[in-house]
A and B are shown apart, each in its own frame.
Chain A
Amino acid sequence: MAKIRSHIMVCGGTGCVASRSEELIDALKSELKTVGYDEEIKVVKTGCFGFCGQGPIIKIHPDNVFYVKVMPEDANEIVNEHIVKGRTIERLLFEDPEAKVKQDKHSQMNFYKKQYRIALRNCGTINPEDLNEYIAFRGYEALGKVLTEMSPEDVIQTVKQAGLRGRGGGGFPTGLKWELTYKEKSDEKYIICNADEGDPGAFMDRSILEGDPHSVIEAMAIGGYSIGANKGIVYIRAEYPLAIKRLEIAMGQAKEAGLIGKDIFGTGFDFDLEIRLGAGAFVCGEETALIHSVEGSRGEPTKKPPYPSVSGYKEKPTCVCNVETYANICPIILNGSEWFSSIGTEKSKGTKVFALAGKVNNVGLVEVPMGTTLREIIYDIGGGIFNDKDFKAVQTGGPSGGVITVADLDTPIDYESLKAIGSMMGSGGMIVMDEDDDMVNISKFYLEFTQEESCGKCTPCRVGTRRLFETLEKITEGEGTMEDLDNMEQLCYMIKDSALCGLGQTAPNPILSTMNFFHQEYVDYVTGQKKTKYSIVEDKCIGCTACARKCPVDCIAGEVKKAHVIDEDACIACGACYDACKFDAVLKP
């Protein structure tokens, strides 16, 4: 009988699947068959490795070689060279953007050096669709330990002492949340997983559910046991089809193995789990709105108190936690609260997963200990700013957060420090911006998002965010006045103080934060210092007419072989002319 001597791990996260990793898996399998190695080499579809900018990624064990940007066409070479002859394929190795050297081990890469993976521990290591692989990496041991050796109070104490705080953004102590729900007397209680990840650019929760769904299921059962709930609900947006599929497969396997369902581990504890799909409304990430949506009502928030721990789903005590929070539970139970609380800063323990995006060299998913500085994340892990541009700001906390400038790059990241510099942890989206990015447009982008996502229940948010957006539109079109700036700022504070839920209360943050750090950019728009329309440099234009033919509003005039001119009044700043010009004659606003 042939022995399996090598595993080819292929990333099966959404990012890599979009770059054809599923085709790659098929190609590898068929190439292996051709050379007769299909019984000794196993191809495993695994979860996100995090290095999404370099995807699709494959890793070959036990040689521990890491290949990047692998295409289905490369399968033949990988099998014939690496697998059959044992030769590493140079051209598929990652090249360090600074040192310009090829690296074959992931441990050599700066991207991984400073990371510490707790929530993402199994992503890229196991096949998420195979329960046995999860069990091999200590899966369901924590649940077994909790049910057979610990009382609900013990579990709550452990989570409390670990210092785990909600990873959805708020940072509420998880142990305390569990304790509050535990203390309520009720015939029924519920535990809910908030997988309604909605920040633009954030994909931490999706990757965890895709790469390690059992870790969330197991943690929910542990949570259910400690608060006294026999029923769990995963609320996930329908826009995450792959995560839903993997979660369904995992739930089916766990049920079949008796790891959820009736009388788990023979202890008499019952725990059932079901999935509810959300339509992807941003406000449904707010826990009261989420609960209403689960109940089948409109996803609108209600006033707190009463908190869900007192009256939540079906007016019963309910505990809502985020995906990443759950992913931290099992390691805490297995390794102890002291281990967990030894990582991180004084008030923020453990690690945080960030979706690093924007103008950095290494785009991807990173997990770092709390207290890591932004500089380390952007320059060491992220590999610095794309195209050697200058760093301008990093946006954290999504539409509820703000920008952090170069002055605060050395701030160690935790819940408190980010708040102190005018941003917030949020769910973990981190968008890096370079010198070319326009801050007024950035806040316009976020306000466009929030005014659309406002549920409409309270006036400050429904009307207020719309007015903010309109004012920003007016400013970016060059029509704004200094008075508009003052009014806008005043309106921001009004909305913050009077909106019903977190969405409205934080919606003005992008404006306030950019106005604070980049006030001059707003003033430049208002005083006309900032160009808002495209223009043509006369000396560079050769009169090829390419731009005029592309312009959707026909505002470019000029004769063939003579310099063209853009009518700035009619220009809608779409940028089509800029893309069409081959002579760099069109100037961006």
Chain B
Amino acid sequence: MPIKSLDELKKIRDEHMKKVELRETGQVEGDTIEILVGMATCGIAAGARETLSAILDEIETKGLKNVKVVQVGCMGYCHSEPTVQVNKPGEEPVLYGKIDGAKVKDMFEKHIEGGELLDDHILIKTFDKA
């Protein structure tokens, strides 16, 4: 498939940028929103992998560029797995419990985009934790 114009090149670029983007988001400090997903044995058993892929789906459908998803170890709230922590720059990190695949959409619309917390799911909200 020969590339015959700059526009065609840009199209290929846009297509493939999605695949390599995560190599860049990790490097940028500043206005990146970090989503940490607890992926220890307890989290995985409670469905953290479904949560994780739902999060990745949301980021892609919404076309968000400034969100970085990192899997972390057990955050200590095994009774409320899957746990997800949202770190927005300049705001207190919020740790949510019982975020299953279906709740992810809510979390994005309310918290990530709207800035409104999911009151029913908050486990802890403080700077004193990682």
Interface residues of A (CB under 8 A from B): 2-7, 9, 40, 61-64, 83-87, 107, 125-126, 132-133, 135-141, 144-145, 148, 256-259, 261, 265-266
Contact = CB atoms under 8 A, between A and B. Distances in A.
A107 B28 CA distance: 10
Contacts of B19: 4, 132-133, 136
Contacts of B13: 135-136, 138-139, 141
29 contacts: A3-B56, A6-B71, A7-B20, A62-B26, A62-B68, A62-B69, A62-B70, A63-B70, A85-B71, A85-B73, A85-B74, A86-B38, A86-B40, A86-B71, A87-B73, A126-B20, A133-B20, A135-B12, A136-B17, A136-B19, A140-B3, A140-B9, A141-B10, A141-B13, A144-B9, A258-B4, A261-B2, A265-B4, A266-B4
A155 B6 CA distance: 17
Given A62-B23, A125-B23, A144-B9, 12 more contacts: A5-B22, A5-B69, A62-B69, A85-B73, A87-B73, A132-B16, A136-B19, A144-B6, A258-B2, A259-B3, A265-B5, A265-B6
Contact of A85 (B1, B6, B40): B40
Contacts of A126: 20
A148 B6 contact: yes
A9 B26 CA distance: 13
B60 interface: yes
- Per CB-CB distance, the 5 closest pairs between chain A and chain B, nearest first, are A258-B2, A62-B26, A64-B26, A86-B71, A144-B6
Contacts of B37: 86
Contacts, number: 104
Interface residues of B, number: 38
B92 interface: no
B6 A62 contact: no
Interface string B7-41: 00110110111011011011100000000011111
Contacts of B52: 5
A5 B67 CA distance: 12
A126 B21 CA distance: 11
B116 interface: no
B72 interface: yes
A77 to B, nearest CB: 14
Contacts of A87: 72-73
A141 B17 CA distance: 14
A132 B12 contact: yes
Interface in B50-71: 52-53, 56-57, 60, 68-71
A242 to B, nearest CB: 22
A488 B15 CA distance: 64
Nearest to B72: A86
A139 B3 CA distance: 13
A138 B37 CA distance: 32
Given A62-B69, A145-B6, A9 B23 contact: yes
Contacts of A125: 23
Contacts of B41: 85
B53 A2 contact: yes
B16 A136 contact: yes
Contacts of A40: 53
B44 A7 contact: no
A259 B44 CA distance: 46
A133 B16 contact: yes
A136 B18 CA distance: 8
A63 B25 CA distance: 9
Contacts of A4: 19
B7 to A, nearest CB: 9
Nearest to B53: A3
Given A132-B12, A133-B16, A136-B16, A7 B56 contact: no
A424 B25 CA distance: 40
A3 B57 contact: yes
Given A62-B68, A86-B73, A141-B13, A7 B1 contact: no
